[in-house]
Structure 1
Amino acid sequence: MKPFSPGELPRPPLTTYRLGFHRGFRLAAATRLLPYFERLGVTTLYASPLFAARTGSGHGYDLIDPSRLNPEVGTSMELERLSRELGSRNMGMILDIVPNHMAAHYENPWWRDLLENGEASAFSMFFDVDWTPPQQALAHRISLPVLGEPFRRVLENQELELVFTGTGFAVRYYETLFPVDPATLPPVLSEIRETLRASFHPENDPALATLDLLLSRTEALPARCDNPLAKRQRSRSRRTLQGLLKSLYRESSAFREALEKVLSEYRGIRGIPSSFDRMEALLSTQVYWLSHWKTVTRTLNYRRFFDVADLVGVRMEDDRVFEAFHRLVGEWIKRGWIDGVRVDHIDGLRDPATYLFRLSRLLRDEHPESVPLVWVEKILGRDETLPDWPVMGTTGYEFASRVLDLFTDPEGARQVREWYETRLSPGQGFEEVAYQQKKFVAETLMGGELRRLTLLLEWIAMEERDVRETGFRELQTGLVEVTACMDVYRTYIREDSVPDEAKRRIGRALDLARTRHPNRRQGLFRFFERVLTQGPPPGASPEKKARWADFVLKWQQFSGAVMAKGVEDTALYLYTPLLSANEVGNDPGRPPTGPEDFHRFNRERLDRFPLSLSATSTHDTKRSADVRARIAALSLFSEEWIKAVGRWRRWNRPARQASRGVPEIPDPALEHFLYQTLIGAWPLEAPDESFVRRIEGYLVKALRESKQHTNWITPDPAYEEKVLRFVREILRPERASPFFKDFLALQKKIASSGARISLSQLLLKATAPGVFDLYRGEELWDLSLVDPDNRRPVDYTRRIRLLNTVIDQWSREPKEAFQSFLDSWGDGRIKLFLTWILLNLRKDHPALFLEGAYRPLPPRWEEEQGAVGFFRSLHDRDLLVVTLTTHVSGMANGGIALERPPSGEIPLPEGSADPWLHLFSGVPVSPVMNGNEAVLPLDRVLQNAPFAVLYRGPAPSLPPGNPPSPHQKRGLS
């Protein structure tokens, strides 16, 4: 059932344009670009988070305060002006929100308050902290395993120091600050007072009286307990103390000198362990317990974002947290500054359904006359459907994988995969790699979360007759197995219901775990099935029910994180036969699907979620759509590619090195990974040093993500440098090797095929059911790799100039202009032109794209022609979309135009005998009769391009200020 009626949407989001805001690209910059976006055909800006984030954040996802606008991106007046300018153009804006996590950073006032006051903090319920962990020493404290070395070594190496920030005391560890609980300050303040007495005339120094007052106030502070009265008293007193300290520091030079002397003494003296006793004593009284990062599997007692220590999970299920977090969002909705939201990392929430229903109600309450527009970042498995949530749909990863499948030759992909698995990386296929990496991530990077979960499970098991004596280690191993065998990110069990889909997924995972471990005690797997799908036995106490539900809900959050880290951020960097398939939400071990699957997907989407985003590049994709298209084109030249890699490996052998048991660096699989990356990202103009630096930065990230010889926590700079030295060596044009010339020749051929695939993807994305989603700058060729490479500045001046040129040229001589764009595809005008034409068509005919019927061309026809096509129809207008897929042999050398358009006919629906308009060339195409059927000659449809979009119906208007279109002149309405 559709979640909306198109008539309810005053500003339907037909095309979203993704913008990343930071101090280098502010709200005012977006306002200045609105005329360009409007002319391009964009209807909706899609903004990265605008809330206050860490200083210098380049993306906004490390937010520190959702209750205020990020001052680095602009002011409220600038946001209001942007909204007003959008409204004047009948455009809107949706906003990315991040309800799952926040920055665990000193700049975050909520987190800072928590680290200062513990359970007495007004924000103690905001974060997912276990205040009563098994370790007695951590009771009512927060374990922060963030130190690079063991605590004693860090302390006695003077890496922890007490500092005064101007408003209060803090502990500094390099660039990280930790607040100090004011109630633990009396020893520090007493030493400052004694230093003042010894150095000055106390009877004449007013600082001493203030210090005495501070001491009495700090000693009177209530304990850190979860008592409402004590919380309020502590909060009031703390603010008073901060004010006194600030005044004292500002007004008394004597205090400042005494303070500095005491702080220097707290730093200790290297080589004298006892000199650090005071610092250790102070740290022992704080809310936080600092330790070596390796203790994470034993001591962590708060939920992180995946394994990122400086991003802490938020308890969005708490009403107070929800209200505080969404107050500003609601205000912006009420004022009409934003039209809707995209929810980041929905799978990280404890209960996504409850959250989304509440969010939908909030948006509707704030703006009753509008439909709540909510999208979710949800990565769906191939046979997984979006739950019945009150959302417009997803952000489009599933579309990206299906559309690229159409242009990946199945036989070529199979040849490359078999060659890779036998010659370059013998052994495991992707399913096994993913399984092993999920286990690795669960037991290591997510070890702290795993231990907490197992402790909950052990509590449940001790009350179950058949498993009550099962040991902690066996329960933990079983939990890891079941989690690693899951084929989706998570299930959506709620406290009061277990959906059939969840039972099916968990049942499948348990069956796989049993198959992998036939000798393991099967009673354990029956126990997991009962816990995860049946709930506590009838008559269970409320406490037992709550404990049971708590485990299941936490496990679902855990399984999503394990899938994300184990597959997205590890396996996709390890199993790499054809990197175009190594994308978020895709399975590189699965053969590519064809038009039948694509059409089924589109029909289901039109029926259920017609406003799902259709994305091919996002800020999270491993490589841009244009890079993926080039790499997918390798499947069309599989034999040539395999031979070329063999030659290159021989020629580049002298550039490889050995190191510490690794016989050659890079190894065969990594070298193949590098060649694919170079083929995909090679610039259209001659590469310079900046390109080599980009490749080097990308490789370091890829190596650390793969976690084989180096990683983020314990990097191996020596190994990384050997890989980078190989890159620099093979990319030296003057190097005495045939590699460079041979590579360039093949790269040129692949680049033109990749361009053809990219343009075909663009056509399908713009005309299939869904909202066309454009990532910043990709209206021209975008050869970016993974973040941060895809956050480089966009040259909008060039895009504005080129768009003006394209519109002017096409408006005067459409057929000749289209041919010119095809012939000079490397300058990007053809991509910009297709984007402009199709996005403005969407604006002219919104109902056609939101509601129009979707009718694929006959399967046999698509198979015979090596093409994919469909009609979109509504009332008196039709659209025909057709593009060649994998079998394009008639392209001119180095170009994307066809030397010989294919023969054949496109069958038309009944009643389609009227002329059609070729939208790109402006040439009318009239049907001919084949017996009793009206058909369109394929060569006249395609003309000399490998794709076409034909339109029949009322003439679409061009943007204001342009001359009449050719079909308007010919009266083809």
Structure 2
Amino acid sequence: MIPVTSTYRLQLREDVTFDAATGFLPHLAALGISHLYLSPIFAAQAGSTHGYDVIDANVIDPVLGGEAGFERLAAAAASHGIGIIIDIVPNHMAFSLQTPWLRDVLRHGQDSAYARHFDINWSDKLVLPFLTESFADALSSGQVGIGQAEDGPVMTVGDGLAIPIAPGKVTADLDALHAAQAWRLTRWERERDSITHRRFFNVTGLIGMRVEDEQVFDDMHAKTFDLIDRGLVQGLRLDHIDGLADPGGYLRRLQARVGNCPIWVEKILTGDEVLPDWGLAGTTGYEAARKLAQVLTDSQGHARIVSDWRAATGKMGSFHDAIQTAKHEVLRQELAAEMLDLIDLGHRATQADAREQGGEALREAVIALLIAFPRYRPYFCQTFQRPEDLALMDKVTTEAAADLRNGAVVQQLAGFITAPGTDAARAFQVRFQQVTGALLAKSHEDTAGFRWNAYLAANEVGADPDAATITANGMQDWLATRQGSALTLTSSHDTKRSEDARMRLVAISHLPDDFAALVDRVAGLDGAGVACANDRWYLTQVALAIWGEDDLDQRLHDHVVKALREGKTITNWIYPDTEAENRVLSLIPKLTADWAAARPAALMRLIARGEVLSLIQTALKLTMPGVPDIYRGCEGPHFALTDPDNRLPVDLDALMALTEASGFAGQKARLTHAMLRARRDDPAFWDGAAVQFAATGAGFVLTRVGEGGRVTVTCDPNGADLGAGTLMKEALPGLRVDFSPE
């Protein structure tokens, strides 16, 4: 098996097919990449831009080139000495009429062979919130009819819907026909609180899968196992592991089946949380991106920026306070269905426990526990309790009970979570652990992270703006315990800012006066007062983050619309207020015209400092323990905001020519090439080398010492000329990389 020394993440779709991926292989081989890391390859909904809305987990998507195309890619990769890692989605599939298993469930209800595959509450009909009006109104207006599809008769609604109906149930009475089905059509707005399937976060169009069931597990992974058995796939990346009923049990079963095929999980670690002992290769690496941003942030400059932001906006409290506020909103809005489901499960559990509670007491207790839970989830199961989870639940229970008149219900529900004694309590335990992650993600990443705009470099997946910095000693402690096979990412398809854009934002902590000058300049633009100070602060940072990019105005426009709707302060996704949005958007062309004409010295200095920090980040990433993961295009400069901006096409020919480029582009490309090849050429050294991270007068030094050599990365964020190193044989601003025999 090829040693995993680095990975290169390619986003398939949007014209990136298996044949297009094959075109990258010579470049990746020259770059020193050991493994090509692909976004989901299985059949997804028509027009999918990402592939996570899988409709058939056992068919390789024809849009990408089908199985034959994947086989060609795998063979070509092997010929270049490159392995393949695929991204699989065990948690959910598309809640779509294009999903064959779901169509069978719609037709046959609980008699379907796939009824247990989907996480559906069969105490009611399966709710389909597909209509723009009530079913009764659609019926009375003549929009409902009967049709015929390849797999049998269907009920049609308008021009777009054709839903399978039960065999033998066809009747001219369309209202009675609808009532006879295992499903019930409703207006789309009912998805907020009336759905009967477990979804991914608040995305009703994705339905949870019950992979804890052995048959479902086998059916969901049949093609994945076939690809591994045939030697076409050499690694797995698992999407959203925290959504599963029993992540640990699932992973044990998966590892037993795939043997020594390495597995990485998308797991967001918060605070001092560590990955459970699941015997994995590691996480996908968001915690590494967080640590790199922390150690490169200047603590004094950061404090100045936050102080200035508070003065400008009047915002008080902490980011934690902002999350708690967002949790209350998200739980009652986007996740109301999950909240109501948990309350119902809690009621059933208290009945089975012979200590039935009142509805309001249950509602208060469920909400209090969810709000108090600080991580994505604990990992309680029927057979195992981790001491750290028990300690965490004790703390959460105390906090949740503190603001209630009677904490007895909280204590009772917490007991169901830690040690369920009945099937009803076990059902509450499972669902509580699935909801905590959705609530934190929607409250932190997708709400508070777009409201708390002081320092966007810390508003990242899994990061904490209340802990935006780390000392050299803290960094050393973290590096010393880091799993060597874990991925180290700095950009991904899900990061809020790409790595180089983030370093421009880190630069404002080094040059707070220059950032203050930019903020004041934006505030002085004609008509700037139509946007609040917090929104102007946000716009200034994102403009800095991608300044100089093509289609700048349009990209800023699209991103700011998303940011405002995610923040949910003046607008939102469900009921957008375009008039309020346009007031903020009107500043974009004024800002870009002003900066383009004046080329403010403060802007130029921040950009230059961002380049220095980007080079340091790249060197640290490629030297520290862990497997470097390069997001497509990030071997060179990459300035992007959150998706879909970070999924725009990349130019392979331009990437291949980067090592000959001048300036920052060439420096980053040559640094990346040199260090990736060093890792590929001597994997044993990098696997075993001890790590030392220490502060110097001007910056930091990271050293790896192992059998056969010593690598030293000397960093000065001020950009001093440290001279050419022996591994990277050119002078880079603020950076020197040396390799010496030991």
Measure how far apart 1:709 and its partner are.
Answer: 2.3
Deviation string, structure 1 residues 593-638 (Cα, Å, up to 9, x no partner) = 1222222111101xxx211000000101111011110011111122
What's the C-alpha RMSD, in Å, of the aligned pairs? 2.2
Measure how far apart 1:740 and its partner are.
Answer: 5.7
Question: Which of 939, 945, 948 is residue 736 of structure 2 equivalent to?
Answer: 948
Deviation string, structure 1 residues 777-827 (Cα, Å, up to 9, x no partner) = 111111111111111111001112334x36xxxxxxxxxxxxxx4xx22xx
2:650 aligned counterpart, secondary structure: coil
1:950 aligned counterpart, secondary structure: strand
Equivalence for 1:649 = 523
2:481 aligned counterpart, secondary structure: helix
| Corresponding letter in the other structure for 1:846 | P
Measure how far apart 1:462 and its partner are.
Answer: 3.3
Equivalents in 2 of 1:521, 1:45: separation in Å?
A: 55
Equivalents in 2 of 1:705, 1:570: separation in Å?
A: 5
Measure how far apart 1:655 and its partner are.
Answer: 4.8
Equivalence for 1:430 = 319
1:581 and 2:458 are equivalent in the alignment: yes
Measure how far apart 1:338 and its partner are.
Answer: 0.6
Question: Which of 690, 695, 705 is residue 873 of structure 1 equivalent to?
Answer: 705
Equivalents in 2 of 1:14, 1:626: separation in Å?
A: 22
Question: Which of 471, 488, 509 is residue 594 of structure 1 equivalent to?
Answer: 471
Distance 1:681 1:158, change over 3 A: farther
| Corresponding letter in the other structure for 2:381 | R
Equivalence for 1:719 = 580
Equivalence for 1:764 = 620
1:421 and 2:322 are equivalent in the alignment: no
Equivalents in 2 of 1:679, 1:640: separation in Å?
A: 12
Equivalence for 1:210 = none
Equivalence for 1:801 = 657
| Corresponding letter in the other structure for 1:512 | E
1:856 and 2:716 are equivalent in the alignment: no
Equivalence for 2:389 = 502
Measure how far apart 1:730 and its partner are.
Answer: 3.6
2:57 aligned counterpart, secondary structure: strand
Equivalence for 2:571 = 710
1:865 aligned counterpart, secondary structure: coil
Equivalents in 1 of 2:134, 2:364: separation in Å?
A: 28
Deviation string, structure 1 residues 713-747 (Cα, Å, up to 9, x no partner) = 222233223332332344345xxxxx665564322
Question: Which of 413, 416, 420 is residue 528 of structure 1 equivalent to?
Answer: 413
2:36 aligned counterpart, secondary structure: strand
Equivalents in 2 of 1:175, 1:632: separation in Å?
A: 51
1:127 aligned counterpart, secondary structure: coil
Distance 1:187 1:154, change over 3 A: closer
1:564 and 2:441 are equivalent in the alignment: yes
1:395 and 2:280 are equivalent in the alignment: no
Question: Which of 162, 165, 186 is residue 170 of structure 2 equivalent to?
Answer: 186
| Corresponding letter in the other structure for 2:186 | S
Contact 2:458 2:468 in 1 (8 A): no
Measure how far apart 1:48 and its partner are.
Answer: 0.6
Distance 1:781 1:154, change over 3 A: farther
Equivalents in 2 of 1:837, 1:620: separation in Å?
A: 27
Say which is worse superposed, 710-719 or 59-68, in terms of deviation: 710-719
Question: Which of 49, 56, 61 is residue 65 of structure 1 equivalent to?
Answer: 56
Measure how far apart 1:106 and its partner are.
Answer: 1.2
Equivalents in 1 of 2:138, 2:316: separation in Å?
A: 43
2:465 aligned counterpart, secondary structure: coil
Equivalence for 1:677 = 542
Equivalents in 2 of 1:716, 1:511: separation in Å?
A: 40
Equivalence for 2:726 = 918
Equivalence for 1:411 = 300
Say which is worse superposed, 143-152 or 580-589, in terms of deviation: 143-152
Equivalence for 1:115 = 106
1:299 aligned counterpart, secondary structure: coil
Distance 1:286 1:716, change over 3 A: farther
Equivalents in 1 of 2:157, 2:59: separation in Å?
A: 28
Contact 1:489 1:564 in 2 (8 A): yes
Question: Which of 31, 38, 46 is residue 37 of structure 2 equivalent to?
Answer: 46
Equivalents in 2 of 1:745, 1:116: separation in Å?
A: 66
1:622 and 2:477 are equivalent in the alignment: no
Equivalence for 1:446 = 335
Distance 1:604 1:168, change over 3 A: same
2:62 aligned counterpart, secondary structure: coil
2:59 aligned counterpart, secondary structure: strand
Measure how far apart 1:491 and its partner are.
Answer: 0.1
| Corresponding letter in the other structure for 1:446 | L
Contact 1:421 1:428 in 2 (8 A): no
Distance 1:90 1:298, change over 3 A: closer
Distance 1:535 1:876, change over 3 A: same
1:290 and 2:151 are equivalent in the alignment: no
Equivalents in 1 of 2:120, 2:159: separation in Å?
A: 24
1:777 and 2:633 are equivalent in the alignment: yes
Equivalence for 1:216 = none
Equivalence for 1:474 = 361
Contact 1:481 1:513 in 2 (8 A): yes
Equivalents in 2 of 1:426, 1:173: separation in Å?
A: 49
Equivalence for 2:97 = 106
Question: Which of 361, 380, 395 is residue 269 of structure 2 equivalent to?
Answer: 380
Equivalence for 1:906 = none
Distance 1:747 1:172, change over 3 A: farther
Say which is worse superposed, 284-293 or 31-40, in terms of deviation: 284-293
Equivalents in 1 of 2:132, 2:587: separation in Å?
A: 30
Equivalence for 1:249 = none
1:668 and 2:533 are equivalent in the alignment: yes
TM-score (norm 2): 0.95
Measure how far apart 1:185 and its partner are.
Answer: 5.0
Equivalents in 2 of 1:529, 1:944: separation in Å?
A: 55
| Corresponding letter in the other structure for 2:342 | L
Say which is worse superposed, 562-571 or 305-314, in terms of deviation: 562-571
Distance 1:75 1:151, change over 3 A: closer
1:634 and 2:422 are equivalent in the alignment: no
Equivalents in 2 of 1:165, 1:747: separation in Å?
A: 60
Question: Which of 111, 122, 128 is residue 131 of structure 1 equivalent to?
Answer: 122
Output aligned runs, 1:130-529, within 5 Å.
130-132=121-123, 139=124, 141-156=125-140, 162-165=146-149, 168-172=152-156, 177-183=161-167, 185-188=169-172, 278-296=173-191, 298-364=193-259, 371-462=260-351, 464=353, 468=356, 470-515=357-402, 517=403, 520-529=405-414
Contact 1:425 1:669 in 2 (8 A): no
Deviation string, structure 1 residues 732-767 (Cα, Å, up to 9, x no partner) = 45xxxxx66556432211111111111111001101
Measure how far apart 1:697 and its partner are.
Answer: 1.1
Measure how far apart 1:485 and its partner are.
Answer: 1.2
Equivalence for 2:11 = 20
Distance 1:944 1:65, change over 3 A: closer
5+ unaligned residues in a row in structure 2: which ranges? none
Equivalents in 2 of 1:362, 1:617: separation in Å?
A: 31
Distance 1:505 1:946, change over 3 A: same
TM-score (norm 1): 0.73
Measure how far apart 1:412 and its partner are.
Answer: 1.3
Distance 1:61 1:744, change over 3 A: farther
Measure how far apart 1:920 and its partner are.
Answer: 1.9
| Corresponding letter in the other structure for 1:715 | P
Equivalents in 2 of 1:493, 1:766: separation in Å?
A: 36
Equivalents in 2 of 1:109, 1:421: separation in Å?
A: 53
Larger Rg: 1
Distance 1:182 1:829, change over 3 A: same
Equivalents in 1 of 2:342, 2:11: separation in Å?
A: 36
| Corresponding letter in the other structure for 2:636 | L
The alignment of Structure 1 onto Structure 2 pairs a total of residues equal to 742
Distance 1:118 1:696, change over 3 A: same
